Structure 1
Amino acid sequence: MARIAFILLCHKAPDEVIAQARRLCAAGDYVAIHYDGRAPAAEFAAIRAALAGDPGVVFARRRVKCGWGAWSLVAATLEALRAALAAFPRASHFYMLSGDCMPIKTAEHAHAFLDARDADHIESFDFFRSDWIRTGIREERLIYRHPFNERRHRRLFHAALAVQRRLGLRRAIPADLRVMIGSQWWCLRRRTVEVVLDFIRARPDVVRFFRGTWIPDESFFQTLVRHLVPEAEISTRSPTFLMFTDYGMPVSFYNDHYDLLLAQDYLFARKISPEAQALKARLGTLYAATGLRFPISDEGRRLHEFLTGRGRVGRRFAPRIWETEASLGSGRELLIVTSKKWHLARRLVARMAEVADVPGVGYLFDEQAAGLPDLGGIGESLEKRNRHRRALVRMLFDHFGTDRLAICLDTSGIEAMRDFHTDRARVGVLEIRCDFSDADLAGHARRVGLAGEQTPAEALDRLLPTIRRDIAFESDRLDGAGFAGLLRIDQRRAPAENTAALAQFLSIPYEAAGKIARTDQLFAD
């Protein structure tokens, strides 16, 4: 069975460090502690005294003064790794934790997870080709030296960077290394730690290189593991659940996140707010439990993005460069049917084709299987379709040999609607307003990844009111968009009222529109 030596990097809250170490050791595992050299000596002495004599705890030989983004974090990790490797010969895995981490599964589950696959669990993506770095400098992290810490000496950091750029003081990346990047929260097998430490002793040039890079804890181990371990033995997924805000800051978890955290397919979570004492107590008790099963929904990141994005709806006032050269044509008419209930919009578009001879397609920008004809590579993925919206729709006009075309869009697709409204073609929008039961909202949450089949009912109950408000918000936002051709049909209206809207939207006689409005089960689920 797996036995874990936890590499615990911490710099504050000595009482919580002590509790964390005792909790992990009580499950039969080990802890190697590095307490930041910048922290008060009295705090470190209190930790040592409290854990003295515990055979499952060891301390790094040297306390490194750590700074965010600096080599010192890697140096501290190496100190703790060396101490753990020497003190715990039975440890099979070495798992990086911070003082803000807490378990979100039982120790029993964690050991079974590690036993299930002989692999190193570490994010390791190509530094230059991946999109792992979302903001800030990229190549400059490696090719220039960074003698100053950006957080403590911001002006000096950027001044040194500017001087090196101006003088062309680039440095070479070690030729035999493919630099990788990923989360610093990993779990490595014993033999991997041993070969990494052997490599460091044999290659001081590599250590010198990474000493001068910026944020090396996101690239040092990630690069060396990929260099030394066969790809088949690497799981490029951190076993620790963490999320970041739009500004690159870690998301903190609070007392009401307990159910969400347990539903994520990870072993630990970072970072738990210092104020979330009730959450810490519950998770601490959880780790020692046995015989528990964990239904996994894994919707945490999508849910956070959904909830935090409600007040940050972006607007774009100009078409993209490729769209300015992809007009649908001044003599054409695009009819957009929008609804959060996709099956209703598809049903209406199909009925429009029968009665009004207007060809149509489904949610071509929202779902892969939208019933598109073969248009070549432009339609092979949602990413490509959204990148070349107008070009794709223009090809649909040509494919059907028509100047009138209907498409379906989700009510959240207001950006696409705005894009089409800046085109020379005539564009109309028809919203289908309908009632939403809790079952409808739950189905929508599962379809878009906000919930899974195993999401606990109580977690889903808390989510549904937010989704209901969001649907109402999207509908109201259509009114504020200024679309001249915006019309609506409504499940609660009489067929005669919907007939008038359909006749205007399709520019067809009232009688023909009535046939559509009176379609059997038009609003049925």
Structure 2
Amino acid sequence: MARIAFILLCHKDPKGVVAQARRLAASGDYVSIHFDGRANAQEFEFVRAALADNSSVVFVQRRWKCGWGEWSLVGATLEAVRAAVVAFPRATHFYMLSGDCMPIKSAEYAHGFLDAEDCDYIENFDFFESDWIKTGLKEERLIYRHWFNERMQKWLFYTSYDLQRRFGLTRRVPADIQVMIGSQWWCLRRQTVEKVLDFCASRPDVMRFFSTTWIPDETFFQTVVPHVVPRKEIRARTLTYLVFTDYGMPVTFYNDHYDLLMGQNYLFARKISPEAIQLRQRLGALWAASGMHFPISNAATGLFRFLTARGRIGRRFGQRFWEAEGSLGRANSLLLVVAKKWHVAKRLTAAVRAQTLIPAVDFVFNELDAHLPDLGGVETTVEKRDRHRRALIRLLFQHFESHRLVLCLDPSALYLIQDMVSDKAETRILLIDSQFDDDYLRGHIARVGLAGTGTAPDVIEQLLPMVRADLEHEAERLRDMDFAAFHSIAPWLTPEENAEQLARFLDVPTETALALAKTEYLFSD
């Protein structure tokens, strides 16, 4: 059975570190602790004294003074790994943790997970080809030497960097090394760790190179492990769950995140708030539990994006400069059917095609199959359609040889609606109002990926009012825009009332509009 030596890097919360070490050791595993050399000396002595009699805990011989982005983080990790290799000969796996990490599975589950496959878990993506680095310095991390801490010695860091760049003082990556990048939170087998330590001893040139790279904790192990282990034995993922905000900061988890964390396909999570006492107690008890079943939903990241990444209403999307050019044609009329229930909108467009001469397409910016004709390639992907939206609509007017065109949009695409209304062409809007019962909302949550099949029912029930309010708010936002040619139909209105709106929207006779309003099962789910 797997026995894990946890490589615990910490710098604060001594009581939490002691509790974490005791918890992990109680499951038959081991802990190697590196307590930051910059930390309070009394706090370190407290941790050492509290764990002195625990044979499953070892402390490093040399404590590094660690700084973000520095080699010191790698040095501290290597020190803790060496201590663990010597102290715990029965350890089969070595797992990187921080003081902010907590288990989100039981020890029983974690051991079984590691026993199931003989492999290493470490993210390793090509440094130059991947998009792992979103912003800031990339190649410059490697080809220039970084001796100073970017956060604590900002002037020295950037002055050194600017001087090297000005005088062309670049260096090459070691010829036989392919630099990789990924999360610093890994889990490696014993044989892999021993190979990494042997590599460190035999390749001082590589050690010198990485010691002056910037943020080497994201590149050193990620590069060395694929160099000494066959790729087929590596899984390019971390077993520690973490989410980053748009500002590149890790998301902190609190007391009400317990069910979501349990549903993630990971063994640990970071960062757990020190103030989330209840969550820490529950997760601590979870590690010692047996016979637990863990339905995996992987819903937490999608929920976080849904709840936080929407931006300020009306300010998230600005007009792209290339969209400002060109017009749909002053003589043309664009008829936008806006509906959250796509099947209702598509029933209406099908009826329009069948009962009028007005060309109608469906959700061309959402679905690949949207009753589009062949337009020479601009229609081949949804992304391309959105990128060239005005060109696409102009081509549709030309293809159908019509001055009117019906097109469907989702109410969340307010930026598209505003873009069309701002054009010289006449734009009319028909909002299809909807009622959202709980069954529809559950289906919507599943369709947009807010929850999976394994998500706990009570989590979905908590989402229902939020999602309902969000969908209703989309319609209200559209009304608040106060568009000049705005019409709406609804399932609670009579066919005659809906026909009146359709007649004005489509500019068709009352009889035709009434026939459209009476379309069989028009509003049915």
| TM-score under structure 1 length normalisation | 0.93
Alignment of 1:427-446 (within 5 A): 427-446=427-446
AA paired with 1:150? E
Residues 460 and 4 from structure 1, CA distance in 2 versus in 1: closer, same or farther, beyond 3 angstroms?
same
**Preserved contact between residue 319 and residue 419 of structure 1 (Cα < 8 Å):** no
- In 2, the alpha carbon distance for the partners of 1:377 and 1:217 equals 45
Match of 1:2 in 2: 2
Query: Partners of 2:378 and 2:228 in 1: how far apart?
Result: 39
Instruction: Report what 1:224 is aligned to.
Output: 224
Q: Secondary structure at the match of 2:28?
A: coil
Match of 2:38, SS state, is coil
- Could you tell me how far apart the structure 2 residues matched to 1:165 and 1:377 are? 44
C-alpha contact (below 8 Å) 1:200/1:207 kept by paired residues: yes
- CA deviations 1:151-189 (Å, max 9, x no partner) are 212233233333333333332222332222211111112
Question: 2:298 corresponds to which letter in structure 1?
Answer: D
CA distance in 2, matches of 1:374, 1:200: 59
2:204 matched to which residue of 1? 204
| Alignment match, 1:176 | 176
1:316 paired with 2:317, answer yes
For 1:55 and 1:371, how far apart are their aligned partners in 2?
70
The amino acid that maps onto 1:54 is N
Aligned to 1:253: 253
Opposite residue 175 of structure 1, the aligned amino acid is A
* Structure 2 Cα separation of the partners of residues 177 and 85 of structure 1: 25
Q: Which runs of 5+ in 1 are unaligned?
A: none
Task: Name the residue aligned to 2:389.
Answer: 389
Counterpart in the other structure of 2:165: 165
Alignment of 1:175-194 (within 5 A): 175-194=175-194
Q: Give a deviation string over 1:292-340, Cα, whole Å, max 9, x none.
A: 111111111110111113453444343342x456654444443322222
Tell me the distance in 2 between the aligned counterparts of 1:377 and 1:110.
50
Letter in 2 for 1:319: R
1-side partners of 2:168 and 2:479: how far apart? 54
SS of equivalent to 1:337: strand
Query: The residue matched to 1:243 in structure 2 has which SS?
Result: coil
Show the counterpart of 1:493.
493
Q: Which secondary structure state, in structure 1, belongs to the residue aligned with residue 412 of structure 2?
A: coil
1:426 counterpart letter in structure 2: E
RMSD, aligned CA = 2.2
Q: Map of 1:18-33 to 2, 5 A cutoff?
A: 18-33=18-33
What residue is the counterpart of 2:39 in the other structure? Answer: 39
Task: Indicate yes or no: 2:525 matched with 1:520.
Answer: no
Q: Which piece of structure 1 moves more, 419-428 or 302-311?
A: 419-428
1:385-430 CA distance string (max 9 Å, x none): 4333334444555555554333322211112223333444433322
- Distance in 1, Cα, partners of 2:275 & 2:145: 38
Find the residue that maps to 1:283 and give its secondary structure: helix
- Structure 1 letter corresponding to 2:131: D
**Amino acid aligned to 2:174:** P
Distance, in Å, in 2 between the alignment partners of 1:126 and 1:420 is 41
Q: Name which of structure 1's ranges 383-392 and 202-211 shifts more when overlaid on structure 2.
A: 383-392
CA contact (8 A) 1:431 1:487 kept: yes
1:381-420 matched pairs, under 5 angstroms: 381-397=381-397, 400=400, 402-420=402-420
Instruction: Give 1:194 shift.
Output: 1.8
**What is residue 300 of structure 2 aligned with on the other side?**
300
- Secondary structure at the aligned position of 1:9 is classed as strand
Q: CA deviation at 1:48?
A: 1.8
Assess, with a 3 A threshold, how the Cα gap between structure 1 residues 177 and 485 changes in structure 2: closer, same or farther. Answer: farther
User: CA shift at 1:440, angstroms?
Assistant: 1.3
What's 1:244 paired with? 244
Contact 1:121 1:235 in 2 (8 A): yes
Q: What's the CA shift for 1:476?
A: 2.0
Misfit runs of 4+, over 6 Å: none
For residues 62 and 374 of structure 1, what CA distance do their matches in structure 2 show? 69
Give the distance between the partners of 2:471 and 2:89, measured in 1 at CA. 57
Checking the alignment, whether the CA contact within 8 Å between 1:124 and 1:182 is kept in structure 2 is: yes
CA separation in 2, counterparts of 1:269 and 1:153?
31
Quick one: which amino acid aligns to residue 340 of structure 1? Answer: K
Superposition map of 1:58-457 within 5 A: 58-310=58-310, 312-313=312-313, 314-321=315-322, 323-324=323-324, 327-368=327-368, 370=370, 372=372, 378-397=378-397, 400=400, 402-457=402-457
Unaligned regions of 5+ residues in structure 2, if any?
A: none
Aligned-residue offset at 1:371: 5.3
Secondary structure of the corresponding residue to residue 430 of structure 1: strand
The 8 Å contact of residues 319 and 422 in structure 1, kept in 2 or not, is answered as no
What's the CA shift string for 1:321-369, capped at 9, x where partnerless?
A: 2x45665444444332222212112222212211223333333323455
CA shift, 1:205, in A, is: 1.8
Indicate the SS of the match to 2:278: helix
Equivalent-residue separation in structure 2 for 1:92 and 1:374 (angstroms): 59
Deviation at 1:372, TM superposition (A): 4.9
Q: What is the TM-score with the length of structure 2 in the denominator?
A: 0.93
1:69-88 superposed Cα distances (whole Å, 9 cap, x missing partner): 11111111111111111222
Q: Identity, % of aligned pairs?
A: 59
Within 1, Cα distance between the matches of 2:208 and 2:239? 29
Distance of aligned partners of 1:402 and 1:292 in 2 relative to their CA distance in 1, 3 Å threshold:
farther
- Which stretch of structure 1 is more off in the superposition, 163-172 or 386-395? 386-395
Distance 2:388 2:123 in 1: 32
